[in-house]
Amino acid sequence: MPKEMASFTVNGKPYELIIEPQMTLLDVLRNQLGLMGTKYACGTGDCGACTVLVAEKPVLSCLTLAATVKGEEILTIEGLADGNNLHPIQQAFVDAGAVQCGFCTPGMILTTKALLDENPDPTPEDVQAGLGGNLCRCTGYVKIVDAVLAAAETLRRR
């Protein structure tokens, strides 16, 4: 099938990649850019573990054809920290005990970033509404809500 050269900006860096139509953004990120932080967990759009931000909006990379996001600004989990300095959202997740097995965590954190960018002072109900597309099997979500609220406060104070 026809290959094409496509430009992407991922975590602020420009890339020229050879892609084919059937490649998902998830597989391009993992297989071609070696960015393994974005996870495959269901492939049906139900769990949110593959979430990345495209033009600052959380989308499911497992259901996004890479060819349809050519030229877009993409943020993966690897683009959030400043070197080894955790982003306040990442730090809040660590401090609140909101990370157990960690498999849902990258998607959960990126969706949180988008939520807080849009609504810097969410209520617990806002947090639940904002993360309704992200499944976690380990934590029971309680400490995830705590972490998001704590992160919101930290970011507001910055």
Partner 1 sequence: MYRVLRPFELFEPATVGEATQILFARGAGAKVLAGGVDLVMKMRTRKIEPGYVVSLKKIPQLNGITGDGDSGLRIGALATLRSIELSAAAQNYPVLCQGINSISSIQVKNMGTAVGNLCVATPATDVAPPLFVLGAKLKIAGVDGEKLIPIEDFYAGVNKTVLASHEIVTEIILPGVCAGTGMAFLKIGKTGATIAKVNAAVLLVLADGKCTEARIALGAVAPAVIRAAEAETVLKGEKVDDGLIEKAAATATGEASPITDFRSTAEYRRVMIKALVKDALHKAVAEAGA
Partner 2 sequence: MKKETAIVGQRIPRPDTPAKTMGMAEYAADIKLPGLLVGRILRSPYPHANIKSIDTSKAKQLPGVAAVITFADVPQTLFNRSSMAEAFPPPILAGEVQDEYVLSDKARFVGDWIAAAAATDIYTAEKALDLIDVEYEVLPAVFDPVAAMQPGAPVIHAGKERNIAATMEYPFNCGDVEKGFKEADYIVEGFFSTSSQKMCQLEPDAAVACWYPGGRVTVWSPNENPHLAKRVFAKVLNIPDGLVRWITPAVGGGFGGRLSFGVEFICAALAKATGKPVRVECTREEDFIGHDSRTAEYQTMKMGVKKDGVITAIEHRIISDSGAYYSHSGSTTGVNLIHTLGLLRCANIYGIAQIVYTNTPVGGGFRGYGNPEGAFAIQQLIDEAAEKIGMDPLEFRLKNAREAGEPSCWAPIALESCNLEQCIRLGAERIGWREKRGLKKKGQVRRGLGMSIMTHASGAGGFLLEHSNAIIKLNEDGSANLIVSPCEMGQGILGALSQIAAEALGLRYEDIHVVTGDTDVTLFDIGSHASRSVYVIGNAVVEAARDVKRQVLERAAKKLAVSVNELDIQAARVFVKADAEKWVSVSEIAREAIYNFTLTGAHISAIGSFQSDNWCPNFQAAFAEVEVNMETGEVKVIKFVVAHDIGRAINPLNVEGQIEGGVVQGIGFALYEDFVVDKNTGNTITDSFANYKIPSILDIPEIEVILVEEPVPSGPFGAKGVGESGLVNIAPAIANAIYDAVGVRICSLPMTPEKILMALNA
Binding site for partner 2 (CB under 8 A): 30, 34-44, 46-47, 49, 76-78, 80-81, 86, 90-91, 93-97, 99-106, 109, 127-129, 131-132, 134-145
Give the shortest CB-71-to-partner 2 separation in angstroms: 24
| Separation in Å, CA 5 to CA 18, 34, 36, 43, 157 | 5, 18, 22, 25, 43
8, 10, 38, 51: which one binds partner 1 (CB under 8 A): 51
Name the 3-class secondary structure at 129: helix
Give the shortest CB-38-to-partner 2 separation in angstroms: 7
Give the pair of three-digit tokens for residue 99: 């990370």
Distance CA 108, CA 77 (A): 10
CA angle 63, 114, 37 (to 5 degrees): 55
Q: Which does 2 bind (CB under 5 to 8 A by kind): partner 1, partner 2, none?
A: partner 1
Answer whether 6's CB lies under 8 Å from 70's CB: yes
Give the shortest CB-133-to-partner 1 separation in angstroms: 3
7, 9, 68, 123: which one binds partner 1 (CB under 8 A): 68
Report, in angstroms and rounded to the nearest whole number, the Rg of the chain calculated over CA atoms.
16
Which chain residues interact with partner 1 by CB under 8 A? 1-2, 20-22, 24, 27, 40, 43-46, 48, 51, 57-60, 62-65, 67-68, 111, 114-115, 129-133
